[in-house]
Amino acid sequence: MNNIKIVAFDADDTLWDNEPLFQNIEKELCGLLSQYGDDKTISSALFDIEMANMRVYGYGAKAFTLSMIETAIKVSNGNIPIETISKIIEKGKYLLNMPIQLLDGVKDILSLLQNRYKLIVATKGDLLDQQRKLDRSGIAEYFDHVEIMSDKTDKEYTKLVSALNVAPENILMVGNSLKSDIIPALSIGMYAAYVPYHTMWQHEVVDNNISSKHFYKVDNIRELGHYLVR
First to last CA, the chain: 11
For residue 130, which phi and psi values (nearest 5 degrees)? Answer: -65, -40
- Provide CB contacts within 8 A for 5, sequence distance 6+: 117, 118, 166, 170, 171
Read off the pLDDT of residues 114-164 as tens digits, 9 standing for 90 and up: 999 999 999 999 999 999 999 999 999 999 999 999 889 999 999 999 999
Read off the pLDDT of residues 9-56 as tens digits, 9 standing for 90 and up: 999 999 999 999 999 999 999 999 999 999 999 999 999 999 999 999
Q: How many CB atoms lie within 10 A of CB 12?
A: 24
Q: Is the pLDDT of residue 204 over 70?
A: no
For residue 174, which phi and psi values (nearest 5 degrees)? Answer: -115, 125
E strand residue ranges, 17-167? 118-124, 145-149
Of the candidates 174, 159, 141, 179, which has an alpha carbon nearest to the alpha carbon of residue 1?
174
Domains defined for the chain, CATH in brackets: 6-16+100-229 (3.40.50.1000), 19-96 (1.10.150.240)
Read off the pLDDT of residues 60-111 as tens digits, 9 standing for 90 and up: 999 999 999 999 999 999 999 999 999 999 999 999 999 899 999 999 999 9
- Provide CB contacts within 8 A for 226, sequence distance 6+: none
E strand residue ranges, 136-223? 145-149, 171-175, 191-194, 215-217
Read off the pLDDT of residues 166-187 as tens digits, 9 standing for 90 and up: 999 999 999 999 999 999 999 9
